[in-house]
Chains A and B, each alone.
Chain A
Amino acid sequence: EAGVTQFPSHSVIEKGQTVTLRCDPISGHDNLYWYRRVMGKEIKFLLHFVKESKQDESGMPNNRFLAERTGGTYSTLKVQPAELEDSGVYFCASSERGRNTIYFGEGSWLTVV
């Protein structure tokens, strides 16, 4: 069974540009989460989807970040325009409804220069 997959694995963009990160959760997982780890800091929650609905987006840093999950399958996280402080690793995770185990992807490494 495929795990949580993320694309791209690495991205280097200039300040002011736009980047879109994609996450494919494990098939059948209703819960999808985005987390972020900036250099030297802990992994922090960004938002949580249940199917296509945003349940909690309290961790989104500002309105330059937009997450979508059309159709309740894959999700995208767009950063527009990117700033230097957005550099970090963006993790996607998914879980089955009612289950405790949360599975993480390998992360998308974003560097803004």
Chain B
Amino acid sequence: GQNIDQPTEMTATEGAIVQINCTYQTSGFNGLFWYQQHAGEAPTFLSYNVLDGLEEKGRFSSFLSRSKGYSYLLLKELQMKDSASYLCAVRDIRDTGFQKLVFGTGTRLLVSP
């Protein structure tokens, strides 16, 4: 089966650091994505991890541990505009060899002044 878990909501203060966790169980793992989605807008690609370790891109970093089925997205120096939903998605290779993204329900982050 496939299961992606992430917290429903988080709150943080402007300027702070927040870590959004994601755990997953899939039958055929081929990479993990993080997307940011503001209300009514398209999910925007943030990061992609396929190997264990930390990928840093500006204020955002993403970590992956394949053995633990675990990832996190780290947001530093939070800004008000970072208030959004953050979607964890695993690329799952099906038995057929075709791939699809399996999404979590998303974590709604509220950044307060």
Count of residues in A whose CB is under 8 Å from the partner chain? 23
- The prevalent SS among residues of A at the interface is loop
Q: Does B101 sit at the interface, judged by CB under 8 A?
A: yes
Interchain pairs with CB closer than 8 A, number: 51
Distance (whole angstroms) from the CB of B90 to the closest CB of chain A: 11
| Interface members, chain B 86-110 (any A CB < 8 Å) | 87, 89, 94, 96, 98, 100-106
Task: Report A's interface with B, CB cutoff 8 A.
Answer: 3-4, 33, 35, 41-45, 48, 55-56, 58-59, 91, 100-107
Complex CA gap A42/B37 in Å reads: 13
Closest B residue to A41 by beta carbon equals B105
Say which size band chain B's interface belongs to: 20 to 34
A41-B105, A100-B48, A104-B35 known; A59+B43 contact, CB < 8 A: no
- The prevalent SS among residues of B at the interface is strand
Q: Does B40 sit at the interface, judged by CB under 8 A?
A: yes
Task: Report B's interface with A, CB cutoff 8 A.
Answer: 4, 31, 33, 35, 40-45, 48, 50, 87, 89, 94, 96, 98, 100-106
Given contacts A33-B100, A48-B100, A56-B98, 12 further A-B contacts (CB under 8 A): A3-B42, A42-B103, A42-B106, A43-B101, A56-B100, A59-B100, A100-B48, A101-B48, A102-B33, A103-B45, A106-B40, A106-B42
The one of B43, B44, B48, B98 in contact with A55, judged by C-beta atoms closer than 8 angstroms, is: B98
28 CB < 8 A contacts A-B? A4-B42, A33-B100, A35-B101, A35-B103, A41-B105, A42-B4, A42-B103, A42-B105, A42-B106, A43-B87, A43-B101, A43-B103, A45-B101, A45-B102, A48-B100, A55-B98, A56-B94, A56-B96, A56-B100, A58-B94, A100-B31, A100-B48, A100-B50, A103-B42, A104-B42, A106-B40, A106-B41, A106-B42
Residues of B within 8 A of A4 (CB): 42
Contact (Cβ within 8 A) A102 B101: yes
Residues of B within 8 A of A59 (CB): 100
Residues of A within 8 A of B87 (CB): 43
Residues of A within 8 A of B103 (CB): 35, 42-44
